[in-house]
Amino acid sequence: MLVANLLEQKGTMVATIASNATVGTMVAELTRHRVGALVVSPDGNQIDGIVSERDIVLQLSELHTDLLMQPVSMIMSIAVRTCSPTDNVGSIMSLMTEQRIRHVPVVDDGRLCGIISIGDVVKSRIGELEKDRNELMEYITAR
């Protein structure tokens, strides 16, 4: 299955945030969108970084509640792994496992056009396995 197929099923909406927004605003946006990460972008097309719940937790032990007033740029990851719509979902699953990341923005012609989470990948894989199982059951019972 290709990333494009996955995006057809889940949609292409990507929650973004500006790098100068506060971490407090970021927490509110994560909650509002019910997501685990936001792409840091000035315009919804360009990727400056990515910020996740994990980034908050890593900094919270040092800054405590002062963290909420800090800019997102202070905690965001700037080395963002991306994929394209033509990439195979299996390769994205490997990337996520090897790099220990849970969100991969999808970029097409230099523009942000979606995001794939580990949950999306697992759901896709379970669907493929279920389809294979059903086909095998049909083959067995047809004999």
Cα Rg of the chain, angstroms: 18
CATH class of the region 3-142: alpha beta
Contact 38, 26 (CB under 8 A): yes
Beta bridge partners of 134: none
Residue of 69, 107, 68, 61 lying closest to 86 (CA atoms):
107
Contact 76, 49 (CB under 8 A): yes
Stronger pLDDT, 142 or 94, i.e. the higher one: 94
Q: What is the pLDDT of residues 53-64, one digit of tens each?
A: 999 999 988 888
Q: Report d(CA 35, CA 115) in Å as an integer.
A: 11
pLDDT for residue 143 is more than 80:
no
Structure tokens given for 15 = 């929650």
Task: State whether residue 88 is helix, strand or coil.
Answer: strand
Beta-strand relationship, 37-40 and 16-17 = parallel
Q: What is the pTM of this model?
A: 0.86
Residue of 106, 119, 30, 105 lying closest to 72 (CA atoms):
30
pLDDT of residue 3: 95
pLDDT of residue 83: 96
Q: Report d(CA 55, CA 49) in Å as an integer.
A: 12
Q: What is the pLDDT of residues 77-107, one digit of tens each?
A: 999 999 999 999 999 999 999 999 999 999 9
Amino acid at 100: R
